[in-house]
Structure 1
Amino acid sequence: MTSNAITTKGFRLSHKLLTSMIIGASVFSIQAFAENISMDFSNEYNASSIHAEGDAYFIDRVTELTEGGINITLHTGGALGFNSGDHFYAVADGAVEIADTLSGTMSGIDPIFLLSSLPFIVDDINDAHRLYEIAKPFYEEVFEDNDQILLYASPWPPSGVWSKTAINSQDDLQNLRIRTFDRNGTETFRNIGAAPVSLSWGDVVPQLATGGISAVLTSAEAGASGSFWEHQDHFAAIQYAIPLNMVHMNKAAFDSLNEAQQAAIMEAAKLTDEHNWKAVKNRTEENYKTLSEHNITINDPVSEELFGALSEAASSVVENWLETTGENGVTIMSQFRGE
């Protein structure tokens, strides 16, 4: 009798403990995402751009994974007053929690950020993705050293030249006032005899409208998003580069989240990274359809003479980058080239 009582009592105690554990786990699961947290996300591009669409995808994944516990508001078109050139320090200082930033605009922080826009290094999206994966630890280190974390990359379709008149040869580039988006492009087009002007995205359309520039180095994607057909008639697919935007987050804001929320942010970032690299593969074809509907003449492929002249003009750009990045640059390029 005594033995049975002890057994029964033990069972009851175990059952009570088990029930308590289950209830506790359920409460934790609910409480993990119960706190309502709001964050702002800055992007200087239009809401219809491939980058804004990728950012919206990230926000949707975060909402799902946190059961609505983290509310992120995406501000497109530079609505918060920041452009890509402002983002690095705005995020580091906590002025905005998350930003989507054109990589080359951060070259003043570290020249590693000019890697993705080095001219004529990659042949296609797969090449660009492989280069990003090799360089990712180097990017992450720079962000970490500046109180930020890298969430994911957002690749552009290949860069080309938008212009009022056709670009068929090197002669067509002479003294051309062309907008470039970072130091690599400025040096390349200066070397070939053009008159490059480095501008942030928000200044491009106003400069086209007023005649401050007559051509733009950017993708078919960007031109379609910005309705360039209102000012330009031609797009030359020179396959210049597949530059990256990078989405980065303030480290203190990330650290303020609990473990479940942090895990959700990183899982959403992983899913978005995969989504973005898939999405960009079909984007040029979609853009070309839009351009044709607006009577843009597309020069694809460009002549061997034009491509050769641009490649030669770009050779010093790559050499200079390797010199400024030192061992890190050599390591990345050696791995990329399989040396």
Structure 2
Amino acid sequence: MLKTTSAILIAGLMSGTSFAAKWHMPTPYGDGNLQTQIAYSFVKEVKENTEGALDITVHSGGSLVKHTEIPRSIKTGQVQIGEVFLGILGNESPVFKHDNIPFLATSFDDAKKLWKAAKPEIAKHLDKNGMMLLYTVAWPAQSLYSKQAVNSLADLEGQKMRAYSPTQSRLADLMHTTPMTIQTPDIPQAFSTGIIQAMITSPSTGVDSQAWDYVNYYTDVKAWIPKNVVVVNKRAFRRLDKATQQIVLDAAKHAEAAGWTQIAARAAKDKATLVEQGMTVSDPSPQLLKELQAIGQTMAEEWKAEAPKEVGSILTRYHQELGQ
């Protein structure tokens, strides 16, 4: 359930406006984030091509609705559209965990193939909950931030590890660390107050949260490539006329293409920024990589066991895409 303050704010924003003409789009990340910038481009294209008939306002950085509340707010129609990190939906269905499984897809090419394999199941589950998928934008590969050099998992044992999804919590357990659920805006405070000592996340999140202020090392393990999804309330979408619906779908297609094109360049830029700010950036030691890959295999097996039919179909399609 949305907190009272968020519900009141949303009601105020929606009052006196046409439901189909004025939409509100909460997003979890700040304006400097590529995913948010893609969202702004998306809504600009929609507004221009509908000549203002559909005007979508982006509320970035969790300013309207907190990240974990965005899916429910879209499902219930309290907002019409929103962006969410796909992995946080993992408790609703195992299919939402596909891009959080370590070492299942670690390159952008493989991540695209995994998304193609998983998309039918994702769309099916969103549809059951009154939502429709519009587009997705990948993150850079997720790597390890720590206060000290990490050459093996023993160097992290007992530490508190940030977790941003159910799958990451399981990963922290298998790494013999303690998972702590911390959303992106709260990362600096969590480190400064000792709530967490390490995290696995993207170079972009590291730059956004100025990781160099509280950690010294970035070990580029490239464990997985997660995604954000932008989804719309189905009833809100159906209220649009056919021409406007097509404009929204076309803008979504362009947004997804732009995101996949731009993410690799952003990843390289943000990793360079970590170096410029004095962080030690290095590849993982053979031992650390071997240990993490073994955990990835365990998590892949556990993931398939959660829903053998659905997950099995994703993996079958993925291996077909890989030519295996």
User: Fold-level match, TM-score > 0.5?
Assistant: yes
Counterpart position of 1:302: 284
**Does the 8 Å contact 2:24/2:56 carry over to 1?**
yes
Distance 2:66 2:312 in 1: 33
- Partner SS state of residue 196, structure 1: strand
Which runs of 4 or more aligned residues in structure 1 lie more than 6 Å from their structure 2 counterparts after TM superposition? none
Q: How many residues align?
A: 304
Counterpart position of 2:58: 74
Once the two structures are TM-superposed, the CA of residue 177 in structure 1 deviates from its matched residue by: 1.0
- Code of the residue aligned with 2:56 in structure 1: it is I
Candidates 198, 202, 205, aligned match of 2:188: 205
Counterpart position of 1:52: 36
**Does the 8 Å contact 2:182/2:190 carry over to 1?**
no
**Does the 8 Å contact 1:181/1:217 carry over to 2?**
no
- Comparing 122-131 and 161-170, the one that deviates more: 161-170
- Partner SS state of residue 239, structure 1: coil
**Does the 8 Å contact 1:163/1:234 carry over to 2?**
yes
Larger Rg over CA atoms: 1
**Does the 8 Å contact 1:42/1:78 carry over to 2?**
yes
Once the two structures are TM-superposed, the CA of residue 137 in structure 1 deviates from its matched residue by: 1.2
Once the two structures are TM-superposed, the CA of residue 195 in structure 1 deviates from its matched residue by: 2.0
Answering whether residue 137 of structure 2 is matched by residue 150 of structure 1, we say: no
Once the two structures are TM-superposed, the CA of residue 314 in structure 1 deviates from its matched residue by: 2.4
Counterpart position of 1:313: 295
Answering whether residue 234 of structure 2 is matched by residue 234 of structure 1, we say: no
Distance 1:82 1:170 in 2: 33
Q: Deviations over 1:248-273 (max 9, x none)?
A: 11111111111111010000001111
Counterpart position of 1:8: none
TM (norm. structure 1) is: 0.86
- Comparing 197-206 and 215-224, the one that deviates more: 197-206
TM (norm. structure 2) is: 0.90
Once the two structures are superposed, the pairs formed by residues 164-179 of structure 1 within 5 Å of their partners are 164-179=147-162
- Partner SS state of residue 172, structure 2: helix
Counterpart position of 2:270: 287
Counterpart position of 1:64: 48
Counterpart position of 2:246: 263
**Does the 8 Å contact 1:152/1:247 carry over to 2?**
yes
- Code of the residue aligned with 2:289 in structure 1: it is F
Once the two structures are superposed, the pairs formed by residues 132-143 of structure 1 within 5 Å of their partners are 132-143=115-126
**Does the 8 Å contact 1:189/1:196 carry over to 2?**
yes
- Partner SS state of residue 255, structure 2: helix
Distance 1:77 1:205 in 2: 15
Distance 2:53 2:192 in 1: 44
**Does the 8 Å contact 2:23/2:56 carry over to 1?**
yes
**Does the 8 Å contact 2:75/2:130 carry over to 1?**
yes
- Code of the residue aligned with 1:153 in structure 2: it is T
**Does the 8 Å contact 2:106/2:141 carry over to 1?**
no
**Does the 8 Å contact 1:119/1:184 carry over to 2?**
no
Segments of structure 2 that go 5 or more residues without pairing to the other structure are 1-18
Segments of structure 1 that go 5 or more residues without pairing to the other structure are 1-34
Distance 1:333 1:93 in 2: 32
**Does the 8 Å contact 1:188/1:310 carry over to 2?**
no
**Does the 8 Å contact 1:46/1:226 carry over to 2?**
no
Once the two structures are superposed, the pairs formed by residues 120-139 of structure 1 within 5 Å of their partners are 120-139=103-122
Output the aligned Cα RMSD: 1.7
**Does the 8 Å contact 2:204/2:267 carry over to 1?**
yes
